[in-house]
A and B are shown apart, each in its own frame.
Chain A
Amino acid sequence: MIFDIIPSTLRMTTPIGYATLGGIYSERSGIINLALEGMMLMGAYGYVIGAHTSGSAWIGLTVGISLGIVLSLLHAVATISFHAEQIVTGIAINILALGITEYLIPSTDRVPGLPDITLPLIGSFSILVYFLPILMIISHIFIYKTPWGLRLRAAGESTEALKTLSLSREKWQYFGVILSGVFAGLGGCFLVSDVHIFTKGIIGGRGYVALAAVIFGNWRPLYGVSACLFFGFASSLDLIDLGNIPDQFLKIIPYLLTMVVLAGLVGRSRPPAALGKMKS
């Protein structure tokens, strides 16, 4: 039984983990990103198109990430260059992504998945599962231990700080938002690569769960991915017989916890000070 839960938890954690890292980069630079759901969907869609037409999972991955970047660029241009309302733009991008995937429904044949690596006793997983902790640690080091990370955080904490150093806040925001497209796209790619098939509802709200994990993890990579691990575990609990707890109640755990944390009832989550602000 426990041997079912660990693999399932890892599979559930990986896609939201990537999207969470993406969300952290974007929000740390001060840009609210509600478009994670759409970017994941584009990643999944790109993967299936790339992998289907070329027969190679790697080309699928490249196309998936590229489409994630395209959507993130749209978000970046609208919010950073035109100062568009970030929340509305994010929602619009999700609608847009949904429309695009309906527009060209890819063939329903199975597509190749990314190579697996086998772990003794637990099972074999896509390499993307192993990349997540690596990228999480790299992100942590990048954000907290390098001058670039400091600048990224400065962009999110103050509208003026970078300007006083004659650095461009907008440049760092573009960087943050585009990285969110890369990571969310990766999350979407993993989902398709794992089940070898694309369906319209494949993301199923995972982009919003990632958003919850960003907040729950206090905008920090290590905490954020840990939150995903917890959410992934919660949604794997339906594998064991818990008596009469319906599966829907397990599903709402991440959402309820996020509300509780946001309200400051348990711990305090503090968003970047200039999140969503374009002018001082």
Chain B
Amino acid sequence: MPPVLAICGFFLLCGIVLILRGQNAFEFYKTIFLSGFSNFDEFASVLFNATPLIFTGLAVAIGYKAGLFNIGCEGQLYVAAFAAAWVGIHVNLPSVLMIPLCICAALLAGAIWGGIPGIIKAKFGAHEVINTIMMNFIALAITNFLVTSVYREPSQMIPQTSQIAESAHLPRLAGMFYLIPASNLLNASFIIACICVIFCYIFFKHTRWGYELRLVGNAPNVAEYGGINPRIVTVWVMALSGAIAGLAGVADVMGYRYRFADSFSSGWGFTGIAVALLGRNHPFGVFAAALLFGLLNKVALDIELFLNVPRGLFLVGQGLLIIWLVSQEGFTKRKT
């Protein structure tokens, strides 16, 4: 129950801040609710905003279960997005082949970017946290270089690549569900996210690899005694985590912008840490937590526009929420 309490505390805190600013807190809650749930259009937008967070949340959760911190989701999703865009621009095949091909390119790029810190950890014992952070900056610098100097769309002020082939576009869901208006941005990347959630659930619970992963995370000594090589697990867990984080890049490139744009992610990799924590690293929990943060991301704009509440409020709340959750977790562990 701590996550639910933390969320209640979060909304309460927002309300108190608003009252201190002399604003109507009730109006704020009403706007959040209406902006998220008043009709299918709004709700589909919440799902659209939640999609990248489902991926990064799952990526962090996978690492966490094996006792690894993947702080590098941000970098992984950038290289993956660029890989998807590169294939999307340079290859032209029918959709049936094109979409899987682009996704595979992204998965591979993400897996490599996540796998390198895994290999360094397994081989040299260097902590994955520092290396994933460093890899974030390297990914940002390299993709920034590529998009500003090599693959920049001519005649454009903002650094971005040209559009990917039409056959690589992920279909919008608006056409499939008549309840969602055609203007809605929700697309097939959300379906991929749902598949990933179910995949992770089955993977953790019902496969040998999932068992190895959890054992290495909970009791590395027992795992080693049982004939599992924690080093090998470290490498593939980091690669898998990176690959799934990379899908967040796919969601943006193939589902929304149809191109790679410089600094497109609004900190999804870092929000993924909050999502995983709040969801207690359980795939369904991650899904629910991503919906909450998707809602917050969506309404942040509305409350800024209509209520003149800076969106920074949610970032502050997010930070405090994480600190609260980990403090509570640490405190309970300390007592036992």
- A interface with B by C-beta (< 8 Å): 32, 34, 74, 77-79, 82-85, 87-89, 91-105, 205, 208, 211-212, 215, 246, 248-249, 251-252, 255-256, 258-259, 262-265, 278-279
Pair B273/A208 contact, Cβ less than 8 Å: no
Pair A262/B327 contact, Cβ less than 8 Å: no
Give the complex CA separation of A208 and B125 in angstroms. Answer: 20
Give the complex CA separation of A85 and B142 in angstroms. Answer: 31
Give the complex CA separation of A212 and B127 in angstroms. Answer: 12
Give the complex CA separation of A101 and B129 in angstroms. Answer: 26
Give the complex CA separation of A93 and B311 in angstroms. Answer: 17
Pair A212/B312 contact, Cβ less than 8 Å: no
Known: A78-B323, A89-B323, A91-B322. A262 touches B312 (CB 8 A): no
A97 partner residues in chain B, CB cutoff 8 A: 319
Is B174 an interface position by the 8 A CB rule?
A: no
Known: A91-B322, A99-B312, A249-B145. A263 touches B126 (CB 8 A): yes
Pair A83/B334 contact, Cβ less than 8 Å: yes
Pair A205/B69 contact, Cβ less than 8 Å: no
Is B224 an interface position by the 8 A CB rule?
A: no
Give the complex CA separation of A92 and B330 in angstroms. Answer: 15
Of B131, B133, B145, B326, the residue contacting A85 (CB under 8 A) is: B326
- Minimum C-beta distance from A26 to chain B (A): 15
Number of chain B residues whose Cβ lies closer than 8 Å to a Cβ of chain A: 47
Pair B326/A89 contact, Cβ less than 8 Å: yes
B51-78 interface bits toward A, Cβ cutoff 8 Å, 1 = contact, 0 = none: 0000000000000000001010000000
Pair A96/B334 contact, Cβ less than 8 Å: no
- Minimum C-beta distance from A199 to chain B (A): 15
Closest to A100 in B: B316
B323 partner residues in chain A, CB cutoff 8 A: 74, 78, 84, 89, 92-93, 96
B134 partner residues in chain A, CB cutoff 8 A: 208, 212, 255-256, 258-259
Pair B319/A93 contact, Cβ less than 8 Å: yes
Which B258-314 residues sit within 8 Å CB-CB of chain A?
267, 270, 273-274, 277, 310-314
A215 partner residues in chain B, CB cutoff 8 A: 130
Give the complex CA separation of A101 and B131 in angstroms. Answer: 28
Pair A95/B126 contact, Cβ less than 8 Å: no
- B interface with A by C-beta (< 8 Å): 69, 71, 120, 123-127, 129-131, 133-135, 137-138, 141-142, 144-145, 149, 267, 270, 273-274, 277, 310-320, 322-323, 326-331, 333-334
Known: A91-B71, A102-B310, A263-B124. A211 touches B133 (CB 8 A): yes
B130, B141, B314, B322 interface centre (most CB from chain A within 10 Å): B130
Of A84, A103, A258, the residue contacting B130 (CB under 8 A) is: A258
Pair A103/B312 contact, Cβ less than 8 Å: yes
Pair A84/B330 contact, Cβ less than 8 Å: yes
Closest to A279 in B: B334
Can you offer 21 A-B residue contacts whose CB atoms are under 8 A? A32-B129, A84-B331, A87-B129, A95-B267, A98-B312, A99-B316, A100-B312, A103-B313, A103-B316, A104-B310, A212-B134, A248-B142, A248-B145, A255-B137, A256-B134, A256-B138, A259-B126, A259-B130, A259-B131, A262-B126, A264-B124
Pair B270/A208 contact, Cβ less than 8 Å: no
- Minimum C-beta distance from A3 to chain B (A): 28
For chain B, what secondary structure do more than half of its interface residues adopt (helix, strand, loop), or is it mixed? helix
Give the complex CA separation of A215 and B270 in angstroms. Answer: 22
Of A211, A212, A248, A262, the residue contacting B144 (CB under 8 A) is: A248
B142 partner residues in chain A, CB cutoff 8 A: 248, 252
Of B126, B131, B322, B328, the residue contacting A88 (CB under 8 A) is: B322
Pair B137/A88 contact, Cβ less than 8 Å: no
Pair B319/A82 contact, Cβ less than 8 Å: no
- Minimum C-beta distance from B120 to chain A (A): 5
B141 partner residues in chain A, CB cutoff 8 A: 248-249, 251-252
Of A91, A99, A252, the residue contacting B313 (CB under 8 A) is: A99
Pair A96/B316 contact, Cβ less than 8 Å: yes
Of A96, A205, A212, the residue contacting B315 (CB under 8 A) is: A96
Give the complex CA separation of A279 and B326 in angstroms. Answer: 16
B312 partner residues in chain A, CB cutoff 8 A: 98-103
Pair B120/A95 contact, Cβ less than 8 Å: no
Q: List 7 extra interface pairs beyond A34-B133, A95-B270, CB under 8 A.
A: A78-B330, A82-B327, A92-B318, A93-B319, A99-B315, A252-B137, A259-B134
Closest to A37 in B: B133
Give the complex CA separation of A92 and B144 in angstroms. Answer: 26
Give the complex CA separation of A200 and B277 in angstroms. Answer: 27
Give the complex CA separation of A78 and B323 in angstroms. Answer: 7
Pair A96/B145 contact, Cβ less than 8 Å: no
B317 partner residues in chain A, CB cutoff 8 A: 99
A104 partner residues in chain B, CB cutoff 8 A: 310
Closest to A255 in B: B134
Closest to A265 in B: B124
A103 partner residues in chain B, CB cutoff 8 A: 310, 312-313, 316
Pair B316/A262 contact, Cβ less than 8 Å: no
Pair B138/A262 contact, Cβ less than 8 Å: no
B319 partner residues in chain A, CB cutoff 8 A: 92-97, 99
- Minimum C-beta distance from B291 to chain A (A): 19
Give the complex CA separation of A39 and B126 in angstroms. Answer: 25
B130 partner residues in chain A, CB cutoff 8 A: 211-212, 215, 258-259, 262
Pair B311/A102 contact, Cβ less than 8 Å: yes
